[in-house]
Structure 1
Amino acid sequence: MYLLNSEGILFVSNCFGEDRVASLIAREFKFLCKQHKKSIRIYGATLMGNGREYTVNNIELVYHSPLPPSGGFPTKSIKGFFADLISGSFFNILKFVKALKKLYNEIDTIFVVGDIFLLFLSKLALKNKKFFFFALAKSDYFMPHYLIEKWFLKTNNIDVLTRDELTAKNFQSDGIKAYYFGNPMMDNLFSKGLNVEIPEDKRVIGILPGSRFEAYGNFKKILFLIDKIERNDLFYIAALPHTLDIRKIIDISLKSGFSVSQKGYITRLKKDLKEVLLLYDSFVEVVNLSEIIIGLAGTANEQAAGLGKPVITFKGCGPQSTEVRLKEQEKLLGGASKYIKNFPYGVIREIEFLLDNPDEVELRGRIGKERMGGPGGAKKIAGWLFSKIFSLEEN
């Protein structure tokens, strides 16, 4: 049993989706500490982004940085790499390491959520500390870890958590201490109970444009798609995250030929007989109301599939929604998400196919639920982490 000698634990994550997972685990861990009367300081640090997920979960944020021009994917395109280079974003990595080094005497345990590179940076800053690693960025379903990554984990004797059972079993067969307790991405997905009126004669399609800067271009592309769909029995609802500026969304809508009206928390777009509702921070409502999802997001696409809805994707306008990434997501989700190369008409045919084949909708929904797992992962992981760190009195 590993015993905590100092009074601090640091949760480290890459960015948006990883921040959310790390903060949920940290919140559950904090609850256990309070329940068992353990005095410990809990910190959070994100390599990129504002770290909002930590602050809303009452975790002390010790480092955050602006999102780089590449959106956090500098190796996915030459353009993104040089944009980050010119902007000086790579210096944020050095600032991150420096910030963690300042915490050296205040923490003894580090829980890293994301990729091996983040784990390496954290170990570089906090040598001789106890590390736990949640390998959220990769899965053997679509992107197995490289041999050198496995060597690093094994050589450093790191306990590894995985996002699925397949990856955990493969790690174990390679002699790595790996565990699977569920996927916290499916935790804390609650409906706000918003009253959204849907015309009785309409079928609902959900829209997930993403949460990063490219989402504006993605949204414009989705409006273009909607304009090309000839059916008039469809009703569209878009889930907009807090990171998107409604003024920019409205400007895009107007330039795309849609009229705009606002009432309360709902913004309504209209063009001929096409109607689109825009809802902020209402992801679960949008997914639950929809038969199928048009998604150009990362985490949100996976969560929608995990909630049982088939996701249709196509190439978007940035590093989060490239053909490569969305095809990887298709593999990860076992076909619950489907990438369509032919835009817009191939996408329209896929929408028509799903609307006319409820059995296929049900099949893809079931696959998505199986691949993502149910809620409760954060609580299980926090419990495991707590038992690894403390000798509980009942033991």
Structure 2
Amino acid sequence: MSSRPLNRLLILSNGHGEDLIAQRILRALQTRRPQLVIRVLPLVGLGEAFANDEAEGRLERLGPQLQLPSGGFSNQSLRGLARDLAAGLPLLSWRQMRLVRHWARQGDPVLAVGDLLPLLLAWGGGGRFGFIGTPKSDYTWASTGPAGWGPTPLADGYHRCKGSEWDPWEWAVMGSRRCRLVAVRDRLTARGLHRHGVAALAPGNPMMDGFPQTPLPAWLASQRRLILLAGSRLPEALGNARRLLGCLSLGQPPEATTVLVASGSTPSLDAWANLLGDAGFAAMAADPAAAAIGASSLWRLGRWTVLLGSHTFSRWAGWAELGLATAGTATEQLAGLGVPSLSLPGPGPQFKAGFARRQSRLLGGAVLPCHRPEELARRLQQLLHDPNTCHQLGAIGRRRMGPAGGSAQIAALVEQRLLG
């Protein structure tokens, strides 16, 4: 440990979901240490999640930055890797490593959020570092897979032999003397790393922080309520949104049903408006009640009503009975709020069949993947008429994701172990 408290911290984050997790931890950390100087290096994309904090002077984003064609999922296909390499990934990684090494040589710590890439960069910097392992959980191989999606005996056997979702080279880096903190998403995963000499902690899941307890408006309580999550990586999110909206047009619900579409920075509201129009929805006149909860526009198709809003996910998510989802982090958060989902994998690069199967296992079946739009439409009607099953799936999702409060607990550990 340093003999003096440190007052600078570099964050490495490799994806949109990781950016959001890092953001929650940093805000909790700044509550404890208001004068802390924070720099963020987004490894994938531009780190848009940090834009507001940067504008308020809470942190500074560092370069180099590059929007990779694969959206950070080059590990899921050789084609995605080839496109990223052609777009300049090797040079980007080299420049990022130089920045991390320069930071570490000044004696300041690094906090890596994500998986192998930020972990390796933090270790390669040569200084003290901490690691928040966000994507991997032993539940993805210790749980039964979704029905009708086939077994994965080779992958399951490999992880069972290791006793951990994390790989030997990853736990070797986590076990470095310079690694002062390893936090993972659940106790099962922490126990798996303990078997390999990694003192991993499971202090709580930051993904479940930041959801206000907003009362359900009375006018919405009289309707069935869905939330539609298409993801945020372009152009994949546009294709996924088109397919999910197409599922709605396959049939009319037996009663009035509102679909909440909470858009982030991408796809844009204009892009969503085009998609809704193409799917047969008609834009309606401004509705004061809808505007009061953050909806920017209202669309109808028979008994379907769509409310489109920008950056309204944290307020709207808990109002839904069911989700239609092709997202990563947002789908997990929805499950943690007790809202089960139906997913529809597509061509990727992120939300493909393997990703959907893995997500379902991670969440104990709280997300049910469907092979075709017709299957999703059928399952949707079944679940809307089966509240007991929805309640059971929602309870599983809550258990798998854990309660809120993880950001504050991790912030306390970062202050003690990296900055103390």
- Whether TM exceeds 0.5 here: the answer is yes
Q: Counterparts of 1:222 and 1:9 in 2: how far apart (Å)?
A: 41
Q: Counterparts of 1:51 and 1:289 in 2: how far apart (Å)?
A: 28
Match of 1:45 in 2: 41
AA partner of residue 340 (structure 2): P
What's the offset of the Cα at 1:256? 2.3
**For the structure 1 residues 70 and 390, does the alpha-carbon distance in structure 2 shift closer, same or farther, using more than 3 Å as the test?**
closer
Q: Counterparts of 1:194 and 1:42 in 2: how far apart (Å)?
A: 37
Match of 2:137 among 139, 145, 157: 139
Kindly provide the CA deviation profile for residues 334-382 of structure 1, in whole angstroms up to 9, marking residues without a partner as x.
Answer: 11111122x1221122212211221111111111111111111010111
8 A Cα contact 2:123 2:173, kept in partner: no
Match of 2:272 among 227, 236, 249: 249
**For the structure 1 residues 292 and 245, does the alpha-carbon distance in structure 2 shift closer, same or farther, using more than 3 Å as the test?**
same
Aligned length: 383
**For the structure 1 residues 98 and 167, does the alpha-carbon distance in structure 2 shift closer, same or farther, using more than 3 Å as the test?**
same
Match of 2:184 in 1: 162
Kindly provide the CA deviation profile for residues 74-131 of structure 1, in whole angstroms up to 9, marking residues without a partner as x.
Answer: 121233223223333443222322332343444521111101222112322x21x111
8 A Cα contact 1:8 1:106, kept in partner: no
The more displaced of 261-270 and 377-386 is 261-270
Q: Counterparts of 1:311 and 1:352 in 2: how far apart (Å)?
A: 13
Q: Counterparts of 1:77 and 1:389 in 2: how far apart (Å)?
A: 36
SS of structure 2 residue aligned to 1:44? strand
8 A Cα contact 2:7 2:419, kept in partner: no
What's the offset of the Cα at 1:55? 3.9
What's the offset of the Cα at 1:318? 2.3
8 A Cα contact 1:208 1:295, kept in partner: yes
Q: Counterparts of 1:148 and 1:12 in 2: how far apart (Å)?
A: 19
8 A Cα contact 1:11 1:23, kept in partner: no
What's the offset of the Cα at 1:390? 5.3
What's the offset of the Cα at 1:67? 2.3
Match of 2:244 among 207, 222, 229: 222
Q: Counterparts of 2:3 and 2:213 in 1: how far apart (Å)?
A: 39
Match of 2:86 in 1: 86
What's the offset of the Cα at 1:266? 2.4
Q: TM-score, normalised by structure 1?
A: 0.89
Match of 1:316 in 2: 346
8 A Cα contact 1:30 1:42, kept in partner: no
Matched, 1:349 2:378: yes
Q: Counterparts of 1:249 and 1:322 in 2: how far apart (Å)?
A: 22
Match of 2:298 among 261, 268, 271: 268
**For the structure 1 residues 238 and 64, does the alpha-carbon distance in structure 2 shift closer, same or farther, using more than 3 Å as the test?**
farther
Q: Percent same amino acid among aligned pairs?
A: 28
Q: Counterparts of 1:118 and 1:260 in 2: how far apart (Å)?
A: 44
Q: Counterparts of 1:196 and 1:12 in 2: how far apart (Å)?
A: 43
SS of structure 1 residue aligned to 2:18? helix
Q: TM-score, normalised by structure 2?
A: 0.84
Alignment of 1:286-301 (within 5 A): 286-301=316-331
Match of 1:188 in 2: 210
AA partner of residue 252 (structure 1): L
Matched, 1:380 2:409: yes
8 A Cα contact 2:41 2:62, kept in partner: yes
8 A Cα contact 1:139 1:167, kept in partner: yes
Kindly provide the CA deviation profile for residues 53-81 of structure 1, in whole angstroms up to 9, marking residues without a partner as x.
Answer: 33433222223623211111012123322
Match of 2:171 in 1: 150
**For the structure 1 residues 272 and 90, does the alpha-carbon distance in structure 2 shift closer, same or farther, using more than 3 Å as the test?**
farther
8 A Cα contact 1:4 1:109, kept in partner: no
Q: Counterparts of 1:204 and 1:24 in 2: how far apart (Å)?
A: 28
AA partner of residue 377 (structure 1): G
8 A Cα contact 1:204 1:290, kept in partner: yes
Match of 2:159 in 1: none
AA partner of residue 266 (structure 2): T
AA partner of residue 284 (structure 1): S
AA partner of residue 244 (structure 1): P
List runs of 5+ in structure 1 lacking aligned partners. Answer: none
8 A Cα contact 2:45 2:71, kept in partner: no
CA RMSD of aligned residues (A): 2.3
Q: Counterparts of 2:276 and 2:218 in 1: how far apart (Å)?
A: 21
List runs of 5+ in structure 2 lacking aligned partners. Answer: 142-164
